[in-house]
Chain A
Amino acid sequence: MNRTGLAARGTGPRTGGPPRPGTTWRARLARDKVLLLMAAPGMILLLLFQYVPLAGNVIAFQGYLPFLPFGQSPWVGFDNFAVIINGDPAFLNALRNTLVLTLVQVVLVFPAPIALALLMNSMLSERLKRAVQSVLYLPHFLSWVIVVAVFQQVLGGAGLINNLLREHGGETLSIIGNSDLFVALLTSQVIWKDTGWATILFLAALSQIDASLYEAARVDGASRWRQLWHVTLPGIRGIVILLLILRLGDSLTVGFEQIILQQDGVGLAASEVLDTYVYNNGIVGGQWGVAAAVGLVKGVVGVLLVLGANKIAHLFGENGVYKS
């Protein structure tokens, strides 16, 4: 490439650095029009499918009529929120199921990848560790339809385990479609699908821990358990808190596709959560305004939970999702 005499002339597009004083916005617009055109398709998609629906939440305050043009439906104030305010039984049931699932997932599902990552990290053979990782990451890439189908084939009435039990004259187990075991079933599916994948971040955090800390601990005579307690766990504290905050922000979101796929067999009493309530009442049932109101409250509570959890993290001297 000819690299002589290129110091002074700059004839191509000029961007980068702060705008020089005296450059008008018109001049900058003209200068950057190609970049704006490049950004346009993506920004249009973002506005159409992220921000317009956000504004579209106004139908929560309308008696939405699908056959009228958008925005022409009558305003009804907070009428749609009545199901929430009056504690409609179907809504309360969905809320209760959601909170139960959230609690179970924070207590059982969240720590699982941390434990698995610690186990994998302490493995001595690097090659074996890679092989285990390859296997355990895989289910993350399967769709919920596949995961649910696989579980049915293994645990269902005509499934693998019941066949084995029948062959050996045992009692068959009714797991699929049993409303009492639904929470356990959902939880085991989530663990099966995503525990391996979720170890990635913890493994990365573990590999960042300074090895000299372990040597210092050993010199001080710390046992392996004390090293785990005083070096390893503090070393991944930041990422654990970060992920916990993000999980809290999603705490009203509990396995929508997963539940929709299995709702028929167990009935609404056991399986309805806020997301399925919105789907069943809005899109299936045609109560657009009510469903949108529930969805809006859920979204707002989610954002508030993230912000609140982040605040608490700051109070404890952690970075959280963003710095204050």
Chain B
Amino acid sequence: MTATTPGTRPGTESDAGNGTPQTLRRRTRPLDAPGIPARALKGVVLLVFCAAVILPFVGIVSTSLADRAQVSGAGGFVLFPTSPSLDAYRTIFAGGVVTRAMAVSVGVTLVGTAVSLVVSTLLAYALSQQGSFGQKPMLMLVLLSLLFTPGLIPSYLVVKELGLLDSYWALILPTALSAFNVIVLRAFFMGIPPELIDAARIDGAGHLTIFARIVLPLSKAVLAVIGLFYAVGYWNSFFAALLYLNDTAKWPLQLVLRTYVINNAEISAADLGSAVDALPPQPSIQMAILVVTIVPILVVYPFLQRHFAKGVLTGAVKG
């Protein structure tokens, strides 16, 4: 069991107030305390679940840090590096295919997230003004789009007809607007006290001023969460790039990962833009590529985790 500091018993209200919504924080203890064997069994089951998630990452990071002798000794995969080195990371950041893909992924994620946020918040604000011209039919179109998936072939042909093939915009525009996120944002905007908005209106503010000076500043938290959701989507997007980018020089990180790790294509010094021919062992390079793809997710994850349950629930109820 976990070590607890004196004075705080596990399961009391001591860990309240760290951002979890009220309904989730309230502790209902429905069942009578179970016996020791039942608790042990539960602990083991959950431990196995958690280990199944954590252990692979330990191996991946270790292999990326291991040196040649250890990798060849272990036959490819290392659990604990004996003499860690950063050579694999130095090699992939030497300016070759991985460096370029990293730049593409970062660029698409930043631009895409910005576009998505601007477009979604504007639309959500317009849809939050009940009784305005065209509000009802537009809302209906947004809601109905959740029910229908457009189909792969027609979607591809639309992107092609728009001349977006082999353009980074093909990775951004088709997925720029998530109807689900618009509905979450709209629900949040509608929860802003109308008195605030009325007061601004009386002072002569138009919709753009109200939106920029009142609604957006009050919505920082929800904007951060929705923004992160969009960013994770762009960072992870793989299939759009496979579909729309024939030019391999434009590939983002996820496609490089597929080519050199999943399909196990040999990665050469020339690919990596490395001056020396003596590369670190292939498994180390592969695992280093995997690590740089995962790390950004791990960095934003704590921020996502703090808020997502609430966001998901809002969406589930309204959608």
Interface residues of A (CB under 8 A from B): 1-3, 6, 9-19, 25, 28-29, 31-32, 34-36, 38-39, 41-43, 45-57, 59, 64, 66, 70, 116, 119-128, 130, 132, 134-139, 141-146, 148-150, 152-154, 158-160, 163, 166, 192, 196, 200-201, 203-204, 206-209, 211, 214, 218, 224, 227-228, 231-232, 253, 256-257, 260-262, 264, 275, 278-279, 282-283, 288, 291-292, 295-296, 299, 302-303, 306
B132 with A146: CB separation less than 8 A: no
B77 with A159: CB separation less than 8 A: yes
Given contacts A12-B206, A53-B150, A207-B28, contact A143 B238 (CB under 8 A): yes
Give B1's nearest chain A residue, CB to CB.
A125
B238 with A119: CB separation less than 8 A: no
Contacts of A141 in B (CB 8 A): 232, 236, 297, 301, 304
The total of chain B residues at the interface (CB under 8 A) is: 120
Residue B171 is within 8 A (CB to CB) of chain A in the complex: no
Pick the residue among B10, B119, B153 that contacts A295 (CB under 8 A). B153
Pick the residue among A16, A57, A264 that contacts B263 (CB under 8 A). A264
Pick the residue among B42, B57, B309 that contacts A200 (CB under 8 A). B309
Give A306's nearest chain B residue, CB to CB.
B147
Given contacts A18-B131, A36-B126, A232-B30, contact A56 B154 (CB under 8 A): yes
Bound-state CA distance A45–B120 (Å) is 10
Residue B275 is within 8 A (CB to CB) of chain A in the complex: no
Closest approach, in angstroms, between the C-beta of B229 and any C-beta of chain A?
9
Given contacts A116-B49, A282-B153, contact A145 B238 (CB under 8 A): yes
A42 with B119: CB separation less than 8 A: yes
Residue B141 is within 8 A (CB to CB) of chain A in the complex: yes
Residue B223 is within 8 A (CB to CB) of chain A in the complex: no
A201 with B316: CB separation less than 8 A: yes
Contacts of A134 in B (CB 8 A): 305
- Interchain residue pairs with CB less than 8 A apart (6): A14-B201, A16-B130, A38-B207, A39-B123, A49-B150, A141-B236
Residue B218 is within 8 A (CB to CB) of chain A in the complex: no
Q: Give chain B's interface secondary structure class.
A: helix
B201 with A39: CB separation less than 8 A: no
Residue B205 is within 8 A (CB to CB) of chain A in the complex: yes
Binding stretch for chain A, among B19-27, B81-89, B93-101, B266-274? B19-27
A59 with B157: CB separation less than 8 A: yes
A145 with B262: CB separation less than 8 A: yes
Closest approach, in angstroms, between the C-beta of B60 and any C-beta of chain A?
6
A39 with B179: CB separation less than 8 A: no
Contacts of B207 in A (CB 8 A): 13, 34-35, 38
B122 with A38: CB separation less than 8 A: yes
Interface residues of B (CB under 8 A from A): 1-2, 4, 10-12, 15, 23-24, 26-34, 39, 42, 45-46, 49-50, 52-54, 56-57, 59-60, 63, 74-77, 79, 118-120, 122-123, 125-127, 129-135, 138, 141-142, 145, 147-158, 160-162, 173-177, 179, 182, 194, 199-208, 211, 232, 235-239, 242-243, 254-255, 257-258, 261-263, 283, 287, 290, 293-294, 297-298, 301, 304-305, 308-309, 312-313, 316
Known: A49-B173, A257-B238. 18 other contacts (CB 8 A): A17-B131, A25-B133, A49-B174, A51-B141, A120-B46, A137-B305, A141-B236, A145-B255, A150-B60, A158-B283, A201-B316, A203-B24, A204-B24, A207-B24, A214-B28, A231-B30, A257-B239, A292-B151
Which are the 10 A-B pairs with shortest beta-carbon distances?
A42-B123, A56-B154, A12-B201, A53-B150, A143-B236, A125-B10, A158-B76, A39-B126, A53-B154, A32-B133
A201 with B123: CB separation less than 8 A: no
Give B309's nearest chain A residue, CB to CB.
A200
Contacts of B28 in A (CB 8 A): 206-207, 209, 211, 214
Give B147's nearest chain A residue, CB to CB.
A303
Closest approach, in angstroms, between the C-beta of A159 and any C-beta of chain B?
6
Bound-state CA distance A284–B315 (Å) is 36
B313 with A126: CB separation less than 8 A: no
Bound-state CA distance A1–B113 (Å) is 35
Bound-state CA distance A1–B132 (Å) is 28
Pick the residue among A14, A51, A260 that contacts B239 (CB under 8 A). A260
Give B122's nearest chain A residue, CB to CB.
A38
Contacts of A64 in B (CB 8 A): 157
A142 with B297: CB separation less than 8 A: yes
B120 with A42: CB separation less than 8 A: yes
B56 with A154: CB separation less than 8 A: yes
Given contacts A145-B257, A153-B60, contact A34 B208 (CB under 8 A): yes
Bound-state CA distance A260–B263 (Å) is 12
Pick the residue among B23, B33, B119, B199 that contacts A6 (CB under 8 A). B199
Bound-state CA distance A46–B120 (Å) is 11
Contacts of B154 in A (CB 8 A): 52-57, 59, 292, 295
A122 with B145: CB separation less than 8 A: no
Pick the residue among A15, A52, A56, A192 that contacts B131 (CB under 8 A). A15
Contacts of B153 in A (CB 8 A): 56, 59, 278, 282-283, 288, 291-292, 295
B49 with A159: CB separation less than 8 A: no
Bound-state CA distance A152–B260 (Å) is 13
Given contacts A122-B34, A260-B239, contact A35 B204 (CB under 8 A): no
